[in-house]
Structure 1
């Protein structure tokens, strides 16, 4: 049956899901996909790091990003509140509406980036018989079919969809090892490398922590007395392990591009899709390799399903009148917007992915900074302090002026520390020859200070 519930509080009677495996596989399937592989490859092809350096960045920044997803998931079971509804209690009404609006845009952006990497694979199979727009359309339609039915069907789908993906990634490991093209390269130090490490770290952090603005959405049907440590580690490890595996594999395979002119040509024309095709099909598995490419391309559905489901919940949070519009309608709108964006952006995949991931890391760092400080400073870290039964009463949570001010301060920090192709901040451009991105780190710190100073006065004089 299709889920009819939107952003409303999930009652005790509805909290019947007790499976921790559901929590782990939700994020296992969503991250054991071609988009994760593509991001890992950027560490070598775009940021110019040695394989060992890329691995260290992946390990550290993935932990940093995945922690928040595990932490916020605890609130879903304990309070029965969706992530954006929970945010109202922590950063206030107006600030939550602001983040919900950004989240709608981010979810659509995620969907577009993910689909682009898969459309490359679908297009290259069978000598380009399937045009890019058709590949994008197929993936969007598949996403709609799963998200239409809601929470329970999503969990069932994600419970099993990781299995074929894992098999194909293992085949990629075997075939790549047989080519002998792996090249670890030597570590090179200096300010320029430091800048590349920080910039790649920002993209990995953005990818890993990207689920934090809807983490609680997928735990709300677990009973309130569910062990919080089991919730945290189910989500944390379910997210972290596939991130490590797939990102590192992407980086390893990308080291082979420089050793083979044919691989270089394929990568230049088809980006990561060309790299995967070279490993699985060309002088390799031929027809079976093409079949593997198609299955791997369809893995994007597992990654996009949570984006589109939570996008609808975020849209309902932006304005109370939007909450009256069914979740299914917002899901359809989100997928339509994703399709409209990913087709033209398909031809600029690398730059779009790098810039988008960094932008994601900026706003999420600001969000997490204020959420953490509100819970531990203003709610004293106690779940009992949340009057969740009054979720629809504006007097039960802050107005959100401190949250808006904290966001503005965070943006100021981001502007100083960012290093993008279209803009480099005063601090960011000082790091190495090509600059280094410390936007999310400065955004986190500036937002923390601005929010907590403003929250003192907001609580004292308003609520």
Structure 2
């Protein structure tokens, strides 16, 4: 094979040789060439920050905060091996329970009964959809330790320098969308605690500010916070389903039959699939500090287990709660009047315990909000050099403000927003993950990664194949198979009056078929 250029300019030949700043590491299946000091990897952003007074002052503020309270200043810059500060490997499993195992995930499970599915079919759709969808973020997680890069930065090796900007913008939308759902439910819960004297909007403001303060500190604080936050949520959800159990009607049949039942099942399974798969574009953000010597199978297995178990557990409880809400009249009335927060206020009893449980449940949503603020801030830095020059904490703040405004504006339409949003982000997540998987396992297996080129537009791929695959997969697979409030594709219509969302499955197949020939053609013409 061709020789790989190292940091010192020398050549090293051999399929599995990897040169790092401190040692040569054997990594099966790929060859990596590492870079020099982090600040030298990104001269354009550094020059812009030094030249523009406002950005220079913001950078100095960030550095001062780092010295005082340990605020992370790393941003999207690649982390060399000798600069990595790896958290416990157990975090790769536990943090997913904080990301997913909280009260804001319950509305997703609620959609099964709301779509007219029996509890049994709802659970089957949750399990199958989640187990399939969890593969994508689990695989993308393995690229973090391998490359030392954040999630969207890893996509530059397939989407190219300019194509990755598109991924960054979409990733911001995904993270803000997750934050909106969490904020709305948190606002409903706090409003219920006050006997609806406090508006949902005030609750949204309180929780958004707390979440920003935690994400403000960065990687180390987030890993510590997420390692333990799930315990409270787990206890509260077990109590919730226990107190709701007398009114969970397991014998309630589905509202549909025949083709329409298949449509409802496929749609809800697609939503469960999408909820798990949506993490694909953010997982590397939380793994880039693990050493490249960490076995990939461990990262994949722990991530897959943590993501799938936590999601299945919480969505199943959501389905049980939804079953009770839609079959027990007093809870149905509370849900119609005040959303899931109002229904939960009725489920928890007695009244004093209910108020305490609702307050505690409110702050379990911080698991997702913290991650959303953090990843949105990192994605924003990848939009351009001037964006890169702005500290992450500023972008995280702006993402929080946007999520807050959207939550205040749309809190009366949570179910509609959630069902449409989950499906739509699923189309993107599948295309994104398939492209990274094929690039890593096929096209980079021989050539490897030149890590010094991660921020060099001239050394990275053109990205035409990846962007083309994303557009074709989304427009052909998503549009033809989507079943949304505002549009039902022709294939989705074939399932009858209510339609059946099969866009995710079409996106998956089309992305596999399209990317390989397009990338092969691109490499033959551009040679990178």
TM-score, normalization: structure 1?
Answer: 0.95
**Structure 1 residue 65, shift from structure 2 partner:** 1.4
Give the distance between the partners of 2:173 and 2:363, measured in 1 at CA. Answer: 23
Larger radius of gyration between Structure 1 and Structure 2: 2
Worse-superposed segment, 213-222 or 364-373: 364-373
User: Match for 1:390 among 440, 453, 466?
Assistant: 453
User: Match for 2:81 among 12, 33, 52?
Assistant: 12
User: Match for 1:85 among 150, 153, 164?
Assistant: 153
Q: Does the 8 Å CA contact 1:193/1:432 hold for their aligned counterparts?
A: no
Q: Does the 8 Å CA contact 1:44/1:54 hold for their aligned counterparts?
A: yes
Q: Which residue of 1 aligns with 2:319?
A: 251
**Structure 1 residue 456, shift from structure 2 partner:** 2.0
Give the distance between the partners of 1:18 and 1:161, measured in 2 at CA. Answer: 16
* Deviation per residue, 1:18-74 (Å, 9 max, x gap): 5112222221111111121111011101x1111110111100111111111111111
Give the 3-state SS of the residue equivalent to 1:431 in structure 2.
coil
Q: Does the 8 Å CA contact 1:77/1:224 hold for their aligned counterparts?
A: yes
Give the distance between the partners of 2:440 and 2:299, measured in 1 at CA. Answer: 18
Give the 3-state SS of the residue equivalent to 1:128 in structure 2.
coil
Q: Which has the higher helix share?
A: 1
Worse-superposed segment, 36-45 or 85-94: 85-94
Q: Which residue of 1 aligns with 2:466?
A: 403
Give the distance between the partners of 2:480 and 2:241, measured in 1 at CA. Answer: 41
TM-score, normalization: structure 2?
Answer: 0.84
User: 1:15-30 to 2 correspondence within 5 Å?
Assistant: 15-30=84-99
Query: Where do 5+ consecutive residues of structure 2 fail to align?
Result: 1-69
**Structure 1 residue 142, shift from structure 2 partner:** 0.9
Give the distance between the partners of 2:319 and 2:286, measured in 1 at CA. Answer: 30
Q: Does the 8 Å CA contact 2:219/2:286 hold for their aligned counterparts?
A: yes
Q: Does the 8 Å CA contact 2:139/2:437 hold for their aligned counterparts?
A: no
Q: Which residue of 2 aligns with 1:182?
A: 249
Give the distance between the partners of 1:434 and 1:336, measured in 2 at CA. Answer: 36
User: 1:6-405 to 2 correspondence within 5 Å?
Assistant: 6-45=75-114, 47-177=115-245, 179-186=246-253, 189-280=257-348, 284-380=349-445, 385-405=448-468
Q: Does the 8 Å CA contact 1:27/1:239 hold for their aligned counterparts?
A: yes
User: Match for 2:507 among 436, 443, 453?
Assistant: 443
Give the distance between the partners of 1:278 and 1:392, measured in 2 at CA. Answer: 54
Give the distance between the partners of 1:407 and 1:180, measured in 2 at CA. Answer: 45
Q: Which residue of 1 aligns with 2:19?
A: none
1:461 aligns with 2:525: yes
Give the distance between the partners of 2:139 and 2:367, measured in 1 at CA. Answer: 22
Worse-superposed segment, 368-377 or 21-30: 368-377
Report the aligned-residue RMSD.
1.5
Q: Does the 8 Å CA contact 2:249/2:324 hold for their aligned counterparts?
A: yes
Q: Does the 8 Å CA contact 2:140/2:433 hold for their aligned counterparts?
A: no
**Structure 1 residue 432, shift from structure 2 partner:** 2.8
Give the distance between the partners of 1:3 and 1:18, measured in 2 at CA. Answer: 14
* Deviation per residue, 1:297-342 (Å, 9 max, x gap): 1111111111111111111111122111110110011001011111
**Structure 1 residue 180, shift from structure 2 partner:** 4.1
Give the 3-state SS of the residue equivalent to 2:350 in structure 1.
helix
**Aligned residue-pair number:** 456
Give the distance between the partners of 1:248 and 1:27, measured in 2 at CA. Answer: 16
* Deviation per residue, 1:394-415 (Å, 9 max, x gap): 2332111111211221122211
Q: Does the 8 Å CA contact 1:406/1:449 hold for their aligned counterparts?
A: no
Q: Does the 8 Å CA contact 2:212/2:397 hold for their aligned counterparts?
A: yes
Q: Does the 8 Å CA contact 1:41/1:272 hold for their aligned counterparts?
A: no
**Structure 1 residue 189, shift from structure 2 partner:** 4.5
Worse-superposed segment, 422-431 or 386-395: 386-395
Give the distance between the partners of 2:323 and 2:518, measured in 1 at CA. Answer: 48
* Deviation per residue, 1:377-426 (Å, 9 max, x gap): 2123x6x8112233222233211111121122112221111111110111
Q: Does the 8 Å CA contact 2:248/2:320 hold for their aligned counterparts?
A: no
Give the distance between the partners of 2:264 and 2:247, measured in 1 at CA. Answer: 27
Give the 3-state SS of the residue equivalent to 1:160 in structure 2.
helix
Give the 3-state SS of the residue equivalent to 1:396 in structure 2.
coil
* Deviation per residue, 1:215-268 (Å, 9 max, x gap): 111011111101211111221111111111111011012111243221110111
User: Match for 1:429 among 493, 500, 512?
Assistant: 493
